[in-house]
Structure 1
């Protein structure tokens, strides 16, 4: 039997594979330090868990509307108006099984076969696969380190063709942690409007921004960019709710309707109890977010300062999210126990096998000479892992 060629071309997530391998090593009794996890190491706050328990006790265990319960959609609308300066009606909100699901719905709703989506790299590895699932063509724009890995208008213009349908932006970025400024976003908005494109704006890390940087939603500038924007967000990163699987999209009503229709056939509604938990997260007290953010900021400073002093590698200090994007720089061509490091995959394999440190090689993020470290881990683990990494680097020849 011949299976789907499109499905066969979809690659598994290397980040999930690295995390799974590290967890298995730990289960086998190996003292491994994992820097792969793209999730907060904190527990979901108590008031959020309590809302799910109450929903269960109240019997809220049946189907809900496919695009989400009205109360949650209304809370999302209020949040977007109060915090992001954008006004949406509830029929423009689609709640899904995580932001990944929201993104997949988006591309399925806006793309026809051979439509192109410009994706600045380095990019979260799932973007490319999601576009391909929707029969689109991902067009990768390789950004430069000197521009803090952010796309310039000249680079975007160079990627345009008559098949370009959309641009995807992610700020703060996974894997770089970089944040687009308001000025940069206004230029991007003008580019999108000028060429009559859609912009898919992944804002999942919006509340994890440090220092004097601030988050700006591109849809907030004017009506022209607003009606071309599909905004993606969720509760996973902000509220330590990765396993609850609640994300959402805010979009023009016609696009939201299509997304809702797709979801109604593909998965029906998001988990009913998780929706109640998400409602408590978005509309409840926010002190928990500030507590987690302060911890991430402390870890960020420590990790960056340690990496900056290590030989052969370098990084730009991240402005948001919880990742450090590390350039192998002078490590390439060096050898460890007679094995040459020619890319990030080799580096990741060697340091895992020898030092029991799991990092994410960024080949699938579009940069084979970089790796990603997550500081969504305890300070103790970060210190131990970086000690091992420094020892590894000091032994390169």
Structure 2
């Protein structure tokens, strides 16, 4: 795929999503305000699937909605697409109000100026690539000459102009993904929604397709909202991640912010591996540090949020790669004696499970694979973590 020549054309596509020359690069591609959507179960219980969500997506930005099944991420995406009707709030797309409960406005999907890629790609098997990509334009009664010109342009932009006469069954998964993306782009919307499009392929292919997708998005310049439960996928693709919990956005930030400074226990546990010590805050020590009495003794940690105050029940979390082995406890403020219970070689790194002495706590310590001083199974050792790498979080 030749991406070198797509940047200038992609910038035009993203900056002018409607093709009328009036796009404002400062206007969000998506602006959601106080959106709510609920369902009723058979027993009459109301379930709030989207709970007062507010979210902006800038032109050319890739935002990932991340969370487990049932957290509301797909419902939010479908509300933006017009496939579900919210109960209240507003949705603005490219500066145009597509949904407003107050104004009783609800544009149908075909008038929302966006493209969408589904989990299965949803390509028509009996249609050629050209006809699959042309389908949205023909459904809108576009002129025949305009259809041909736009389909050929987008196939060239995506890097598959030679596949126009092929059928989906004659192509690889990566090629099918490009066809689905071309169909989503052909209407010049500048915004594409992705509903877990890589969940049906194996891990190795998924890794390659993620790389291709992020390169195409960066070079073409469209805004994207992508739904997934896969934290690695979210980290690789996103400019920002919105972690969803029970219909709400628990935290929205860059991948680094979400990983290194989670706002609560839920985010810390869901994104990446973590070690936890549960306890009660006994002291606020200044410099945004707190002392916590845990099942493994007293520890000094960074205060994760303003509601972490004296007497609060918290979880003290540490990422495995931030933990270190030491020869004695005097070398660190936070150090725990333990025994190496298991060692696992994972190619790029080695992980050690450490059973802490006099407790039922097990710590995971991650080291580079070439560490020649790594302890062995059965060795007695000390595990330490600096206060800036321990984060005290409330629920």
TM-score normalised by length of structure 1: 0.26
* Structure number, greater radius of gyration: 2
Q: Which has the higher contact order (CA 8 A, sep 6+)?
A: 1
Query: Which protein has the bigger helix share?
Result: 1
TM-score normalised by length of structure 2: 0.26
Query: Which protein has the bigger strand share?
Result: 2
